[in-house]
């Protein structure tokens, strides 16, 4: 018995518009909506939608024996929701069959795993939340941006409670070992590792329609035979590829859809099953530990991170970006948060690659820029503007720690104020019940201004909403004010002390 | 293999890129070994390097018989030519040119520059070429640029050896399309008579094929290269008091070089950035216009004109620069960005220049796209990573572009012609 595990990646970045240095400080909208719309609509029509239909047919035909997994980045989901909502519906339909598993990843398809652990945790959480919200699944298996993986990432992934991670089969890591087994991480032995079978995956993704390829034309029969002929003990074949393989990289005319549809029949004849990553992880036992001291990925000839971090331009851009990570997380402005996500997309750095030859042509194929230098210039102009906006929120003269404690103080005070308000209200109600009092009114406004001043600094939303509620009874029954007013006024200094000490 | 080359300039006394390229190519060919090159120029100064080519001055080649003794010849032209060669040449005078104005040695005077009576000088040069071709034994004749095409044709007719002409520029580049009919006809004549044509870029190759109607199989591109700089120049440093970024344009201030686009881009950048200075180094017929334009844009306080720079001054200027720009409207090759890269200066070049075909680690823009030019300048002076990447990658790249590789290609072309 052997098992095939299919996993498809869907990702689209938010491309930057032509952003000139004159725009820095003046224009805070960075995206080329037209290009995004154009590209995702085209790919969806040519590839994603027909491919979804194909999978749906296959699942129906094969009585749920055919299973696949998806990894869809948050930015791609946002674009699909906006431009191709029918795709989301079709995905929901697929999810409802129970034969589709969704994988976890970073929301922005970012490189945060290499630079900013806090950001990494936050993004994975955000992504999984989005998946749950759309498809009702909590991802259990993790796959990082472009399968970037090393031991440090493994520890982080494991600490977030994932059972397994998906990664690439870099030759310099695997050596003589075969990717057709389940491995476990050296740094977090309980985290299992599924490795891409590069040869068989790329046969479909890149070579399928190449008439110069020795094995052209590839038929389902032939393909399943290859898998069947693998040594008996190699039971797991992980086929990882971009989803746009179907219809875009391999055009419809090449017969790629028919090839896929025929796979389950030949697989069944040879007792080969289709499993989701979660099934694989629960049914197989890891054969060995895999130590990966330096990050590997599934991109470029080198299978490392040089596609995004290979030259000084890329390193500088990434460094500058993550230098403000902590600051951005302190911000509450929604647009800043959103831009922060979009600017992290690994694609922006991919475009800055100065590699030549085969790798270079892949980079320039995807890049909207005519040279890596233009890509860098444009990105840095946008980033400059973004950094000024973050700066405007909190001046750079205060260091992060100080800012953090100030924000904490404010938040604590907020809670304190809220608590006191509740107390005031409760007491007022009590007083109203007991007496109809004839206390003087002149002290009534005194308690109000004090909390009001405090409330202006922090996020005004919560207290602002509560205030009128607290005010009303006081205004209605001015007589009740005095005894109540005394309390918060007296408590204020006491309440302040412990919080500011922090 | 023996080659007879006709050129117009040779270092150290050069007026433009032609001299540098002729020198580099000759040296590069010599480095490939087994080359015996005779290089004819109108007016040698005596301090030309002689270790890889024999220099013959057209102004010391007799076209009319004069009975002069050895000592006299030695005293007159001994610094540029062996007197024995003078006598050899004198033995090959093929006509009576006494009607022309010749000097005491029977030679015609040349300015060696680009004077008003350039056409007359070109004609005289070709008369002299007849004498030289009869004297010097050669396997192939090689003419550099249109000024020497008539000489090359003459030599070919005398010797029957194959003629290669080297197109360093065409009149379409120099005039933005308004060609001078006389120059065009000289160029066209040269191309028709040539057995093979070498162009310095594919851009020029296309011009030769499309504008001059030459069969493509007769035209081959051999890109120019650069000589490695010596330690002294490489160690030049920016002046210590320099506080602002310097963006430099270096070249003749003429229509071909697109100086007005540089000024427009400068105006854009200076409206946004304070610590930048723009320098337009060189001279030319559009200089006054550029000074007025800079004043009109209100940037004259940070836009400087240096006038013509020569020799070491050029490298001092580059050492002080943070960005080098060549916005040429039409540049057959353009060797100066390569020199800037050698000095570690990030370069911005127009896509309409020939060197853009072989350079990767520069920023390429359309000459008319002043917005893109301004963006690129801003990026280099604002983002250190951009500056460093272009500087280091540029250095690595330009060090690979050497004349011996170009020389090997030319030798290969010679072989094919001789063995035909």
Q: Chain B partners of A353 at a C-beta cutoff of 8 Å?
A: none
* Cβ within 8 Å, pair A21-B388: no
Q: Which CATH number fits domain A2-10+57-298: 3.40.50.300, 3.30.160.20, 3.20.110.20, 3.90.79.10?
A: 3.20.110.20
CA A484 to chain B, closest CA, distance in angstroms equals 59
Residue A77 banded pLDDT, cuts 50, 70, 90: very high
**Which residues share a beta bridge with A238?**
A5
The verdict on B357 and B413 lying in the same domain is: no
Residue A438 banded pLDDT, cuts 50, 70, 90: low
Provide the H-helix boundaries in A175-255: 198-202, 220-228
CA A74 to chain B, closest CA, distance in angstroms equals 30
Q: Which of residues 178-217 of B touch A (CB under 8 A)?
A: none
* Cβ within 8 Å, pair A316-B268: no
What's the ipTM? 0.74
Q: Chain B partners of A377 at a C-beta cutoff of 8 Å?
A: 375-376, 378-379, 383, 386
Say whether pLDDT at A311 is over 90: no
pTM score: 0.77
The verdict on B409 and B370 lying in the same domain is: no
What is the per-residue pLDDT for A465?
43
Catalytic, out of A101, A105, A119, A146 = A146
Q: Chain B partners of A24 at a C-beta cutoff of 8 Å?
A: 272
Domain that holds residue B80: 2-225+403-418
Average pLDDT over residues A348-356: 88
* Cβ within 8 Å, pair B393-A354: yes
Q: Is B371 on the interface with A (CB under 8 A)?
A: yes
Nearest CB neighbour to A371, from listed B364, B378, B382: B364
Q: Chain B partners of A313 at a C-beta cutoff of 8 Å?
A: 385-386, 389
Nearest CB neighbour to B379, from listed A311, A354, A380: A380
Q: Is A412 on the interface with B (CB under 8 A)?
A: no
Average pLDDT over residues B81-107: 89
CATH number at residue B204: 3.40.50.2000
* Cβ within 8 Å, pair A312-B388: yes
Taking CB atoms and an 8 Å cut-off, how many pairs form between chains A and B? 66
Residue A440 banded pLDDT, cuts 50, 70, 90: low
Chain A's closest residue to B387, CA to CA, is A313
Residue B122 banded pLDDT, cuts 50, 70, 90: very high
Average pLDDT over residues B306-311: 84
* Cβ within 8 Å, pair B360-A315: no
What is the per-residue pLDDT for A112?
93
Q: Chain A partners of B374 at a C-beta cutoff of 8 Å?
A: 20-21
Mean of the per-residue pLDDT values of chain A:
85
What is the per-residue pLDDT for A68?
93
Say whether pLDDT at A58 is over 50: yes
Task: Find, among A114, A111, A109, A164, the residue nearest to A142 by Cα.
Answer: A164
Task: Find, among A128, A163, A151, the residue nearest to A276 by Cα.
Answer: A163
Per DSSP bridges, beta strands B140-144 and B2-6 are parallel
How many residues belong to chain A?
Answer: 502
Residue of B28 and A448 predicted with greater confidence: B28
CA A312 to chain B, closest CA, distance in angstroms equals 6
What is the per-residue pLDDT for A435?
61
Nearest CB neighbour to A316, from listed B364, B378, B383: B383
Task: Find, among B341, B346, B375, B388, the residue nearest to A312 by Cα.
Answer: B388
Cα B348 from Cα B364, distance rounded (Å): 6
What is the per-residue pLDDT for B112?
81
What is the per-residue pLDDT for A481?
44
Q: Chain B partners of A22 at a C-beta cutoff of 8 Å?
A: 268, 272
A146 is catalytic: yes
Q: Is A354 on the interface with B (CB under 8 A)?
A: yes
Say whether pLDDT at A476 is over 60: no
Chain B's closest residue to A20, CA to CA, is B375
Nearest CB neighbour to B375, from listed A311, A354, A377: A377
Average pLDDT over residues B11-28: 86
Average pLDDT over residues B302-327: 90
* Cβ within 8 Å, pair B389-A311: yes
A224-243 per-position pLDDT tens digit? 999 999 998 899 999 999 99
Say whether pLDDT at A340 is over 90: yes
| Whether residue B12 has a cis bond before it, omega within 30° of 0 | yes
Q: Is B264 on the interface with A (CB under 8 A)?
A: no
CA B315 to chain A, closest CA, distance in angstroms equals 25
A402-421 per-position pLDDT tens digit? 878 888 888 888 889 999 99
Q: Chain A partners of B378 at a C-beta cutoff of 8 Å?
A: 21, 377, 381
Say whether pLDDT at B132 is over 50: yes
The verdict on B183 and B284 lying in the same domain is: no
Burial of B61: CB neighbours in 10 Å, binned 0-12, 13-18, 19+: buried
The verdict on B60 and B135 lying in the same domain is: yes
What is the per-residue pLDDT for A365?
82
The verdict on B19 and B162 lying in the same domain is: yes
Cα B358 from Cα B353, distance rounded (Å): 10
CA A27 to chain B, closest CA, distance in angstroms equals 15
Chain B's closest residue to A371, CA to CA, is B363
What is the per-residue pLDDT for A356?
73
* Cβ within 8 Å, pair A21-B382: yes
Q: Is A176 on the interface with B (CB under 8 A)?
A: no
Residue B15 banded pLDDT, cuts 50, 70, 90: confident
Lowest mean pLDDT among A142-151, A390-399, B276-285, B385-394: A390-399
What is the per-residue pLDDT for A495?
44
B135-190 per-position pLDDT tens digit? 999 999 999 999 999 999 999 999 999 999 999 999 988 877 789 999 999 999 99
What is the per-residue pLDDT for A122?
93
Other residues' Cβ atoms within 10 Å of the Cβ of residue A51: 24
The verdict on B84 and B133 lying in the same domain is: yes
Cα A187 from Cα B390, distance rounded (Å): 39
Chain A's closest residue to B384, CA to CA, is A316
In percent, the amount of chain B with pLDDT more than 70 equals 100
Say whether pLDDT at B368 is over 60: yes
The verdict on B247 and B389 lying in the same domain is: yes
The verdict on B116 and B196 lying in the same domain is: yes
In percent, the amount of chain B with pLDDT more than 90 equals 65
Q: Is A311 on the interface with B (CB under 8 A)?
A: yes
Q: Is B360 on the interface with A (CB under 8 A)?
A: yes
Q: Chain B partners of A374 at a C-beta cutoff of 8 Å?
A: 363, 372, 375-376
Q: Chain B partners of A371 at a C-beta cutoff of 8 Å?
A: 363-364
The verdict on B340 and B265 lying in the same domain is: yes
A101-133 per-position pLDDT tens digit? 999 999 999 999 999 999 999 999 999 999 999
Say whether pLDDT at A452 is over 70: no
Chain A's closest residue to B394, CA to CA, is A354
Tokens (6 digits) for A219: 């038929």
The verdict on B157 and B305 lying in the same domain is: no
The verdict on B113 and B172 lying in the same domain is: yes
Q: Chain A partners of B386 at a C-beta cutoff of 8 Å?
A: 313, 316, 373, 376-377, 380
CA B391 to chain A, closest CA, distance in angstroms equals 11
* Cβ within 8 Å, pair A21-B379: yes
Q: Which of residues 267-306 of B touch A (CB under 8 A)?
A: 268-269, 272
Domain count, chain B: 2
The verdict on B260 and B218 lying in the same domain is: no
Domain ranges of chain A: 2-10+57-298, 307-393, 400-501
């Amino acid at each position: 018995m052997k098992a095939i595990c299919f996993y498809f990646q869907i990702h689209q970045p938010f491309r930057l518009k032509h952003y000139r240095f004159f725009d820095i400080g003046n224009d805070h909208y960075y995206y080329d909506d037209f290009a995004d719309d154009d590209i995702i609509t085209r790919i969806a029509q040519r590839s994603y939608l027909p491919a979804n239909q194909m999978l749906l047919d296959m699942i129906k035909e094969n009585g749920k024996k055919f299973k696949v997994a998806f990894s869809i980045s948050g930015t791609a989901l946002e674009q699909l929701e906006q431009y191709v909502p029918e795709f989301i519906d079709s995905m929901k339909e697929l999810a409802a069959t129970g034969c589709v598993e969704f994988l976890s990843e970073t929301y922005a398809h970012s490189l945060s795993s290499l630079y900013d652990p806090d950001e990494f945790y936050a993004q994975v959480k955000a992504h999984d939340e989005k998946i749950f919200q759309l498809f009702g699944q909590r991802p259990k298996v993790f796959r990082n941006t472009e399968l970037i993986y090393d031991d440090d990432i493994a520890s982080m992934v494991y600490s977030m409670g994932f059972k397994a991670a998906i990664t690439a089969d870099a030759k310099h890591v695997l050596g003589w070992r075969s990717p057709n087994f389940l491995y476990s991480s050296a740094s977090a032995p309980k985290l299992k590792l599924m490795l891409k079978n590069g040869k068989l995956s790329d046969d479909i993704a890149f070579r399928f329609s190449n008439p110069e390829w020795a094995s052209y034309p590839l038929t389902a029969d032939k393909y399943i035979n290859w898998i069947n002929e693998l040594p008996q003990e190699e039971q797991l074949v992980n086929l990882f590829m971009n989803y746009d393989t179907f219809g875009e990289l391999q055009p419809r005319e090449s017969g790629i859809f028919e090839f896929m549809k025929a796979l389950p029949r030949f697989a069944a004849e040879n007792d080969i099953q289709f499993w989701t990553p979660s099934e694989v992880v629960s049914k197989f036992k890891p054969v060995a530990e895999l130590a990966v001291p330096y990050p590997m990925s599934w991109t470029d000839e080198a299978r490392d991170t040089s596609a995004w971090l290979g030259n000084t331009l890329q390193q500088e851009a990434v460094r500058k970006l993550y230098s403000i990570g902590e600051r951005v997380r302190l911000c509450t402005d929604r647009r800043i948060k959103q831009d922060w996500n979009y600017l992290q997309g690994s694609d922006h750095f991919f475009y800055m690659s100065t590699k030549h030859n085969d790798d270079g042509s892949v980079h320039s194929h995807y890049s909207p820029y005519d040279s890596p230098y233009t890509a860098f210039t444009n990105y840095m102009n946008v980033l400059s503007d973004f950094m000024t906006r973050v700066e405007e929120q909190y001046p750079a003269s205060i260091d992060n720690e100080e800012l953090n404690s100030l924000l904490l103080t404010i938040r604590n005070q907020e809670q304190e104020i809220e608590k006191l308000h509740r107390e005031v209200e409760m007491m007022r109600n009590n007083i109203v019940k007991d007496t109809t009092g004839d206390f003087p009114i002149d002290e009534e406004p005194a308690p109000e201004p004090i909390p009001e001043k405090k409330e202006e600094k922090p996020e005004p939303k919560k207290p602002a909403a509560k205030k009128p509620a607290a005010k009303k009874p006081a205004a209605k029954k001015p007589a009740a004010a005095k005894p109540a007013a005394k309390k918060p006024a007296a408590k204020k200094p006491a309440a302040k002390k412990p919080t500011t000490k922090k | 293999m023996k080659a007879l080359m006709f050129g117009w300039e040779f270092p150290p006394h050069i007026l433009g890129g032609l001299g540098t390229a002729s020198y580099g190519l000759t040296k590069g060919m010599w480095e490939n070994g087994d080359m015996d090159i005779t290089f004819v120029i109108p007016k040698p100064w005596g301090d030309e390097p002689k270790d890889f080519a024999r220099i013959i001055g057209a102004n010391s080649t007799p076209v009319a018989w004069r009975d002069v003794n050895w000592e006299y010849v030695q005293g007159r032209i001994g610094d540029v030519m062996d007197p024995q060669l003078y006598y050899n040449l004198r033995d090959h005078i093929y006509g009576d040119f006494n009607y022309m104005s010749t000097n005491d040695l029977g030679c015609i005077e040349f300015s060696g520059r680009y004077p008003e009576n350039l056409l007359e000088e070109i004609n005289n040069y070709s008369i002299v070429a007849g004498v030289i071709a009869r004297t010097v034994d050669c396997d192939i004749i090689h003419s550099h640029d249109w000024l020497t095409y008539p000489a090359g044709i003459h030599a070919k007719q005398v010797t029957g050896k194959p003629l290669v002409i080297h197109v360093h520029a065409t009149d379409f580049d120099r005039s933005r399309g308004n060609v001078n009919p006389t120059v065009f006809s000289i160029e066209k004549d040269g191309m028709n008579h040539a057995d093979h044509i070498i162009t310095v870029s594919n851009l020029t190759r296309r011009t030769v094929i499309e504008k001059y109607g030459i069969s493509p199989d007769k035209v081959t591109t051999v890109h120019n290269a650069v000589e490695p700089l010596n330690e002294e120049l490489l160690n030049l440093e920016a002046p210590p008091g320099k506080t602002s970024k310097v963006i430099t344009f270096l070249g003749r201030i003429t229509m071909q070089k697109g100086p007005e686009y540089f000024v427009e881009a400068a105006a854009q950048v200076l409206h946004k950035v304070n610590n930048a200075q723009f320098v337009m180094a060189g001279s030319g017929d559009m200089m006054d216009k550029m000074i007025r334009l800079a004043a009109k844009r209100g940037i004259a306080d940070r836009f400087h004109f240096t006038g013509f720079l020569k020799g070491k001054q050029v490298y001092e200027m580059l050492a002080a620069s943070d960005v080098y720009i060549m916005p040429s409207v039409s540049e057959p090759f353009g060797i100066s960005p390569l020199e800037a890269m050698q000095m570690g200066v990030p370069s911005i070049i127009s896509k309409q220049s020939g060197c853009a075909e072989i350079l990767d680690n520069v920023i390429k823009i359309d000459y008319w796209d002043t917005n893109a030019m301004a963006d690129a300048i801003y990026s280099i002076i604002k983002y250190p990573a951009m500056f460093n990447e272009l500087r280091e990658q540029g250095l690595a790249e330009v060090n690979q572009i050497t004349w011996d590789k170009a020389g090997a290609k030319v030798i290969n072309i010679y072989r094919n012609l001789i063995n035909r």
